[in-house]
Amino acid sequence: MSELLNNTPKKMNESIISGVSSDPSRLEFSLQSPALCLAWNEDSLVYGYNQGVTVLTRKPVVLGNAFASEWSFLSVEYHMGLACELIATCGAFVAVGHDDNTISLINTAEEDAIERTDVKRGHYDFVNGIDVNLDGMVASVGDDRQLLIYSDKLEVVHKIKLDGAGRAVKFQEDGGPHLVVLEGSNRLNVYDWEKGQFLYTVFSNDVVGGSKKIGCCGPPAAVKAVALNVGQNHADQLTVLGSGWWRKYSSANLQGGGGHTVPNKQGELYGSRQLSGAVFCVSNDTAVVVSDKKTLFYSLGTEKSIEVACDFVSGVEAAAVRAKGDLVAVAGGRALVLLNSAENESNIVRR
Average pLDDT over residues 12-34: 86
Pairwise CA distance, residues 105 & 136, whole Å: 8
pLDDT at 68 over 90: no
Pairwise CA distance, residues 99 & 29, whole Å: 26
Instruction: Give the CA angle between residues 286, 289, 290 to the nearest 5°.
Output: 130
DSSP 8-state assignment for residue 17: E
Pairwise CA distance, residues 39 & 321, whole Å: 8
Contact 247, 240 (CB under 8 A): yes
Residue 187: predicted pLDDT: 94
CB atoms within 10 A of CB 87: 23
Q: What is the CATH number assigned to the segment(s) 11-204+220-270?
A: 2.130.10.10
Confidence of residue 120 (pLDDT cuts 50, 70, 90): low
pLDDT at 227 over 80: yes
Q: Domains of the chain: which residue ranges? A: 11-204+220-270
Residue 72: predicted pLDDT: 92
Distances (CA, A) of 288 to 297, 301, 304, 339: 5, 14, 12, 11
Structure confidence by residue, pLDDT tens digits, 7-17: 444 556 678 88
Average pLDDT over residues 321-345: 88
Confidence of residue 249 (pLDDT cuts 50, 70, 90): very high
Contact 131, 171 (CB under 8 A): yes
DSSP 93-140: EEEEEETTS-EEEEETTSTT-EEEE-TTTS-SS-EEEEEE-TT--EEE
Contact 174, 20 (CB under 8 A): no
Pairwise CA distance, residues 250 & 248, whole Å: 7
Average pLDDT over residues 252-281: 89
Is the pTM higher than 0.85? Answer: yes
Structure confidence by residue, pLDDT tens digits, 135-179: 999 999 999 999 999 999 999 999 999 999 999 999 998 888 999
Confidence of residue 2 (pLDDT cuts 50, 70, 90): low
Structure confidence by residue, pLDDT tens digits, 163-221: 999 999 999 988 889 999 999 888 999 999 999 999 999 999 865 334 444 332 334 55
In a 13 Å sphere around the CA of 179, the CA atoms on its Cβ side amount to 28
Rg, C-alpha atoms of the chain: 20
Confidence of residue 344 (pLDDT cuts 50, 70, 90): low
Q: State in Å, rounded, how far the first CA of the chain is from the last one.
A: 52
**What rounded mean pLDDT belongs to the chain?**
87
pLDDT at 351 over 90: no
